[in-house]
Amino acid sequence: MTKEQKNEVIEVLKGKFSQYSNFYITDTESLSVEQVGKLRRACFDKNVEMKVAKNTLIRKALEGLDAEKYTGVYDSLHKVTALMFSENPKDPAVILSSFRSEAKKEKPELKLAFINGDLYTGDNQLATLVKIKTKNELIGEVIGLLLSPIQRVIGALQNRPEGEAAPVAAEAPATETAAAPEAEAPAADATPAAE
């Protein structure tokens, strides 16, 4: 690989690290070409971008962006590394977990996940990452909590005994009676005008 090609890869990686606030670093060393292709298809189906790059180039890209921010990431850059970039922090974990269960293998192994600035180091974190709630799931839960009291009030109003509904019906005729004198008043006014 020439120096220009390396610089090109570094720039592409910088763009991905800038674009996504979530990325996973995985070890795909023992996977066959066919298995890597299958993993790429699974990523594509979930809108997860997968990139394979040399560890030194990944490190240079991260250092070029913000060396301090990514300090904890550098220790995971060893062996064969595949990066998974995603808007949804949960999707790569789900892909890795289901891929491993289908293949009945321990690879690809999770080396590290960088989720909105938080680090999840080690393969034992995969189960935790699968359970992470996405932004939309959290918003849905909050909306559900906010709607819950309203739904209880509506439910209580709909389940009123029939005797309580009667006063509402009794008020309606009273309103009509009040309107009747107004209708007679213009008729009385009309009679003097005729004289």
Number of domains in the chain: 2
Whether residue 169 sits in one domain with residue 95? no
CATH number assigned to the domain comprising residue 23 = 3.30.70.1730
Domain presence at residue 195:
no
The mean pLDDT value for 61-69 works out to 92
Domain containing 47: what range?
A: 3-132
Handedness of CA 110, 115, 120, 126 (dihedral sign): negative
**In-domain check, residue 118:** yes
Asked, for residue 59, whether it belongs to a domain, the answer is yes
Measured from the Cβ of residue 31, the count of other Cβ atoms closer than 10 Å reads: 20
The answer to whether residue 52 scores a pLDDT higher than 80 is yes
Mean pLDDT for 162-188 is 49
Domain edge (last residue) among 132, 147, 171: 132
Domain co-membership, 127 together with 155: no
* Reported confidence tier of residue 145, pLDDT bands at 50, 70, 90: confident
0.85 surpassed by pTM? no
Residue 163: pLDDT band with limits 50, 70, 90: low
Residues 165 and 181 in one domain: yes
Q: Which of 132, 156, 172 is the last residue of a domain?
A: 132
pLDDT mean over 178-183: 48
Q: Has residue 192 been placed in a domain?
A: no
Both 18 and 52 in a single domain? yes
Minimum mean pLDDT among 55-64, 117-126, 132-141: which range? 132-141
Does the structure show a pLDDT above 70 at 35? yes
| 44 in any annotated domain | yes
- Compute CA distances 100 → 91, 94, 189, whole Å: 14, 10, 91
Neighbours of 51 (CB within 10 A): 16
